[in-house]
Amino acid sequence: MIKKDYYEILGISRDASTDEIKKAYRKLALKYHPDKNKEKQAEEKFKEAAEAYDILSNPEKKKRYDKFGHSSSQGDSGGMNMEDIFTNFGDIFGDAFSFSGFSNYNYKKKNIKGSDLRIKVKLTLNEILKGIEKKMKVQRMKMAKGVELIFCKNCNGTGQITRVTNTILGIMHTTTTCSICGGLGKKSERLPKGVNNQGLKKKEELVSITIPPGVTEGIQLKISGKGNDAPFGNGIPGDLIVVIEEIPHEKLKREGKNLHYDLYISFPDAVLGAYEEVPTGDGKARLKIDAGTQSGKTLRLKGKGLPFLEGYGRGDLLIHIIVWTPKKLNEEQKKMFQQMKNEENFIPQKYEKSFFEKVREMFSS
């Protein structure tokens, strides 16, 4: 299923300000709130708007989305549930329902989410080119065995204290976290040795990580539910955030989806022409050097670069020709070049436009 553009969902332009993004989301949240709107598609539109706001209201997520589209959140669970929405964004529209007889209490997250984990994964150029599944050992905080819990009587196990106040505008609900259990609804009675005060113990786990082709340095992939457990297991686990690091290639340089390679050729090969073997991301390619090739010329091998994360085509491999000039010559070689020095076809000529001429033409057209 093709996901809709987040800007289109919120009905805003791509250069919308933070306030405009927030106002657009609040308007849709109030319109499609499940307590108010009983239409069949209301809840889905409510979740859809929240997902769009989650990305566009976060500068880092927004920057990745603008560059990579929906692939920037590769590895996410693929949508938000009601508990996540009211936990993260309830303050944006909660008051509007406190005064109008609607309540988002039933949707609020009663369970706490565990903390996220962050790991770095180093990839070779070949792994980035093809994509890879890696198995990594991760140290996670897991709910320990033998932890005894008792029911929190202060909040009746809800983790929240709700107070109802009559005002001139109507009935107002005020909900705060229980100060006795810290919002867990339970308290520890006895903790085994090596277990922290949240009932968690560090354990090593082998996690499978699927990395799509075309990722870039610094991009983050999220694996839902593979972070730390919630305190006392009273909730859902956090997420595992995978940060990509690139291992520099020995010969190739990366620039976005394109690859660059400096090819040194001899003076005779530049004059007479030759065939050279050049490295690619996934092997080698045979390249023809035309007779009379000038130093500084760039040859392009289309489709030999890296794949786009969105899955549409690949970049190119750009080969930069550098003619090697020998520093030392024997007497015979010197004599040969002396004889050719003043011949007409060895006098430097301007065959191609200079870099500055090309730039000037580009801006004047």
For residue 233, how many C-alpha atoms fall within 13 Å in the half-sphere facing its CB? Answer: 13
Q: Which of 89-98, 180-189, 297-306 has the lowest mean pLDDT?
A: 89-98
What pLDDT is stored for residue 98 in this prediction?
Answer: 41
Give, as one character, the DSSP assignment of residue 71: G
Tens digits of per-residue pLDDT, 22-63? 999 989 988 888 767 778 788 888 888 888 998 999 888 898
Q: How confident is the model at residue 192 (pLDDT cuts 50, 70, 90)?
A: confident
CA distances from 85 to 6, 11, 43, 162, 284 (A): 16, 19, 12, 19, 50
On the question of pLDDT at 356 being above 70, the answer is no
Return the closest-CA partner of residue 49 out of 71, 84, 80, 88: 80
- What distance in Å separates the CA atoms of residue 250 and residue 257, rounded to the nearest whole number? 17
What pLDDT is stored for residue 78 in this prediction?
Answer: 47
Q: What percentage of the chain reaches a pLDDT higher than 90?
A: 42
Mean predicted lDDT score pLDDT of the chain: 82
The residue behind tokens 């005894």 is 148
Q: Which of the two residues, 121 and 350, has the higher pLDDT score?
A: 121
Its pTM stands at 0.58
123 touches 215 (CB < 8 A)? yes
User: 146 — phi, psi (to 5°)?
Assistant: 85, 5
What pLDDT is stored for residue 109 in this prediction?
Answer: 43
- What distance in Å separates the CA atoms of residue 268 and residue 340, rounded to the nearest whole number? 13
- Average pLDDT of span 95-111: 43
317 touches 298 (CB < 8 A)? no
On the question of pLDDT at 325 being above 60, the answer is yes
Return the closest-CA partner of residue 186 out of 176, 199, 195, 175: 199
On the question of pLDDT at 99 being above 50, the answer is no
On the question of pLDDT at 128 being above 90, the answer is yes
- What distance in Å separates the CA atoms of residue 170 and residue 175, rounded to the nearest whole number? 16
Question: 282-298 in b/e burial notation, b at 16+ Cβ within 10 A?
Answer: eeeeebebeeebeeebe
On the question of pLDDT at 140 being above 90, the answer is yes
Return the closest-CA partner of residue 119 out of 103, 135, 104: 135
Tens digits of per-residue pLDDT, 221-277? 999 999 999 887 778 899 999 999 999 999 999 999 999 999 999 999 999 999 999
- Average pLDDT of span 351-365: 59
On the question of pLDDT at 97 being above 70, the answer is no
Angle between helix 18-32 and helix 42-56 axes, rounded to 10 deg: 170
What pLDDT is stored for residue 117 in this prediction?
Answer: 95
Q: Which residues pair with 50 in a beta bridge?
A: none
The stretches of 211-284 forming alpha helices (DSSP H) are: 267-272
What pLDDT is stored for residue 11 in this prediction?
Answer: 94
Range 49-53, long-range pairs (CB < 8 A, 24+ positions): 49/9, 49/10, 49/25, 50/25, 50/80, 50/84, 50/85, 50/89, 51/6, 51/79, 51/80, 52/6, 52/7, 52/9, 52/10, 52/25, 53/10, 53/21, 53/22, 53/25, 53/89
Residues 6+ apart with CB under 8 A from 245: 120, 121, 122, 123, 217
- Average pLDDT of span 285-313: 90
On the question of pLDDT at 86 being above 70, the answer is no
On the question of pLDDT at 358 being above 70, the answer is no
DSSP states of 269-330: HHHH-EEEEEEETTEEEEEEE-TTPPTT-EEEETT-SPBPTTSS-B--EEEEEEEE--S---
- State the Cα angle at 73 between 52 and 26, rounded to 5°: 15
54 touches 71 (CB < 8 A)? no
Q: Which residues pair with 202 in a beta bridge?
A: 141
> What are 338's two structure tokens?
């002396």
On the question of pLDDT at 188 being above 80, the answer is no
What pLDDT is stored for residue 104 in this prediction?
Answer: 44
